[in-house]
Amino acid sequence: MLERVRIVLVRPRRGGNVGSAARVMKNVGLQELVLVAPRTRVGEVGARMAAHARDVLAARTTAPDLATAVGDCLLVVGTAGRDFAHLAPVDPRTAAREIVAASARGRVALVFGPEDHGLSNADLGRCQRLVRIPTADAYPSLNLAQAIAVCGYELLCAARAADAEATRADVPSRRRRSVAASTPADERAPASNAEREALLAHLEQALDGIGFLSRQNPGHILADMRALFARAGLTRRDVKIWRGIARQMLWAARRG
């Protein structure tokens, strides 16, 4: 299950932190690391901090932006220590259960922000869930590797619990995963992040065409729509239907 969980580090500032992240990932059985627009070289410091997880570090990939990094993911989970208007936060244990369940159907991303200020509102807007790690009020700050360790531990526990449940039900976990995994042609499969974003762009064009969006602040209603679709858990068929609606709106707008 955890082989389908991708750890995404957005604009990391220090190579040593990237190496520490790789080390923690290997501790909890996570393998895929993606860096979004890194602001530093990993270098020898990062390799040293990775210790025996240099294989995880060496296999890392980079992406120019978050949209590219999570485009093929069915579920994108952001992490933050603050409020975000469009997503209600959940604790790591609750999020881990949903991530593990979703990973049976496809790839999932768990996203961590820059060390200095965390994920931006634009970054969080691309997420469908928000994780907040409970901490003491006196000192709530966690470093990057600590945050990954907490979330990774809960993911490992959730994955083992799911495997144990499958064994008790006398369904081999490998067979269960292969049956549950989606195929590209399956319209009932969850929509990917790229498909959801393409739908939102199409709807933005359609809503602008019929004069629905405010010229002063079009982003406000679009953010609400993004949050709505995040809660809805759209399938590929849902996306096709909504894009058909958007096409009809544009056709009507052009006729008018």
pLDDT tens per residue across span 194-206: 888 899 889 888 8
Per-domain boundaries in the chain: 2-168, 193-255
Pair 208, 200: CB distance under 8 Å: no
Confidence of residue 83 (pLDDT cuts 50, 70, 90): confident
Proportion of the chain above pLDDT 90, given as a percent:
60
**For the segment 66-80, what is each residue's pLDDT rounded down to a tens digit?**
999 999 999 999 999
Q: Do domains 2-168 and 193-255 have the same CATH topology?
A: no
**Residues with Cβ < 8 Å from 175, sequence gap 6 or more?**
none
pTM here is 0.82
pLDDT at 182: 54
Mean model confidence pLDDT for the chain: 89
What order do you get walking across the sheet with 5-10 strand by strand? 61-63, 32-36, 5-10, 108-112, 75-79, 129-131, 89-90
Give φ, ψ of 130 to 5 degrees: -130, 125
pLDDT at 183: 57
Q: 43: alpha, beta or left, given left = phi > 0 and alpha = psi -120 to 50?
A: left
* Residue 147 pLDDT exceeds 90: yes
Superfamily of domain 2-168: SPOUT methyltransferase, trefoil knot domain (3.40.1280.10)
Using a 10 angstrom Cβ sphere, with 0-12 exposed, 13-18 middle and 19 or more buried, the burial of residue 192 is buried
Query: In terms of pLDDT, which residue wins out, 180 or 18?
Result: 18
Fold of 193-255: Helicase, Ruva Protein; domain 3 (1.10.8)
Quick check: helix, strand or coil at residue 199?
helix
Using a 10 angstrom Cβ sphere, with 0-12 exposed, 13-18 middle and 19 or more buried, the burial of residue 54 is middle
* Residue 179 pLDDT exceeds 80: no
Please give the Cα distance from 234 to 35 (Å, whole number). Answer: 27
